Amino acid sequence: MSNCDQVRALIDAAKRDDQSEQILQEHLSDCAECKAYQALADASDRVLSRLHSELPAPTLSRAYASLRTRAEKERRTTLTAIVGMVVSLLAALWFLRQGWQPGVLILFCWFGASALVAWWSSRLSRRYLALGVSEDFLSDWEHDLRRKILIVKSVAVLVGVETCLLIAGLLVAGLPSDGAILLLGLSVILAVGVLYTMLIELPVLRGELSLIEKPPVG
Amino acid sequence: MSLSAEAVFEAYYHRVYRLGFSLSGDASEAEDIAQEVFVAVVRGISRFRGDAEITTWLYRITVRVAARHVAKRQRSGVRSVDLDEVSSTEQVERQAYLASVIEAISKLSVAQRTVLSLVSIEGLSHREVARVLGVPEGTVWSRLHAARKQLMKQLK
């Protein structure tokens, strides 16, 4: 590390002892570049301090209550996905006993989708934890986002096409039973979910990726 | 030393909230970000034994969560500047100035905003910031310098 690097670290240090202060002042009297660095640092720090002095302090008790509500909500989402898996599996078995193959197929698709949601939400939280202790945070974050975008694009397209084919098949087949109307409704919901992922989630992931290195546009 | 989620909340909520504000430029969004971070803390607290490790982890999760919030806001096209109601001319000028600072910060990349906030607001050293972001110390100061230059240029 060069002398100037050490001095710049001293300029940005929150606290300096007398010896460090002396080294700093001696260097600044000879180095115009570090002097300019210090002037810029002081000016921008003043701006940021002023901004933060205006920040209202949060109420800890209120924040803690909201935190518990949010944690409870996330727990309920995972539980709902697990219930969805169990119900889909039981319904698929019921259709199997009735001998109606399209129903079995669609219910197994629903079982798979519920399992995917449960797995995805638990993987997301594990991924946050893993990134927190990775050696190369920014680069791992970027790889994580790229991987997610790829998964969302390929899975969403696949599921979307499959759902549309199912809906078309059910309509062409003339809805052979009352249960098929329910399945048609479920397939439409799945298609809406896929559309939501493509139109809302994907642009957010792309936006997050662009934020890592590039400033936001507009 | 074992940590409880409550103890971490008490000790770090303000820091996470401040960093959330620096990155998003909005006080109510900063509260949302802090809460999302602490939901992750509740899930992952058992992994941590030391204070230093959890500080790094908290800052990283905050940066990640805040970036997602900013990306969502960009997508929805809503620009949020969280300012109080004003009455006097002096207050109007002050709020306009603060809004221009938030606007200038929003022109920086997330990496630049993070470095600037961690050094100038949180008082972390170059070495500590390098550990948080997983980049060399030289990268920290070059990003910091670039961020300061761009910030002051925007404000001129």
- Whether the per-residue pLDDT at A38 is higher than 60: the answer is yes
Give the list of residues 6+ apart from residue A194 with CB closer than 8 angstroms, or none: A156, A159, A160, A163
Q: How far apart are CA A44 and CA B117, in angstroms?
A: 11
Same domain, B66 and B33: yes
Give per-residue pLDDT as tens, B42-85: 777 666 656 657 888 889 889 988 988 888 887 766 555 555 55
A64-87: average pLDDT: 78
- By residue range, what is the domain housing residue A37? 3-53
Q: How far apart are CA B81 and CA B21, in angstroms?
A: 11
A3-31: average pLDDT: 84
Same domain, B62 and B93: no
Same domain, B126 and B145: yes
At residue B115, the pLDDT reads 92
Same domain, B113 and B143: yes
Exposed, middle or buried by CB within 10 Å (0-12, 13-18, 19+), for B21? buried
At residue A159, the pLDDT reads 74
Q: Under an 8 A CB cutoff, do B112 and A218 touch? A: no
- Whether the per-residue pLDDT at A81 is higher than 80: the answer is no
Q: Under an 8 A CB cutoff, do A141 and B64 touch? A: yes
Give the list of residues 6+ apart from residue B133 with CB closer than 8 angstroms, or none: A137, A138, B60, B111, B114, B115, B139, B140
Strand, coil or helix: A66? helix
**Average pLDDT score, chain A:** 77
Same domain, B93 and B76: no
**What percent of chain A has pLDDT above 70?**
80
Same domain, B75 and B8: yes
Q: Determine contact: B5 vs chain A, CB below 8 A.
A: no
Q: Under an 8 A CB cutoff, do B44 and A140 touch? A: no
- The count of structural domains within chain B is 2
Strand, coil or helix: A167? helix
Q: How far apart are CA B34 and CA B62, in angstroms?
A: 7
In the numeric block, the tokens 């960093």 are attached to B19
Q: Determine contact: B59 vs chain A, CB below 8 A.
A: no
At residue A178, the pLDDT reads 61
Same domain, B74 and B132: no
Domain edge (last residue) among B32, B53, B80? B80
- Whether the per-residue pLDDT at B26 is higher than 60: the answer is yes
* pTM for this entry: 0.74
Give per-residue pLDDT as tens, A163-199: 777 777 777 776 556 666 666 676 777 777 777 878 8
- The CATH number for B16's domain is 1.10.1740.10
Residue of chain B whose Cα is closest to the Cα of A207:
B71
More confident residue, B2 or A83: A83
Same domain, B108 and B60: no
At residue A111, the pLDDT reads 78
- By residue range, what is the domain housing residue B94? 88-156
Q: Under an 8 A CB cutoff, do A208 and B67 touch? A: yes
Same domain, B50 and B121: no
Q: How far apart are CA A206 and CA A200, in angstroms?
A: 10
Q: Determine contact: B81 vs chain A, CB below 8 A.
A: no
CB contacts of B56 in chain A (<8 Å) are 132
In this prediction, residue B19 has a pLDDT band, given cuts at 50, 70 and 90, of very high
- The count of structural domains within chain A is 2
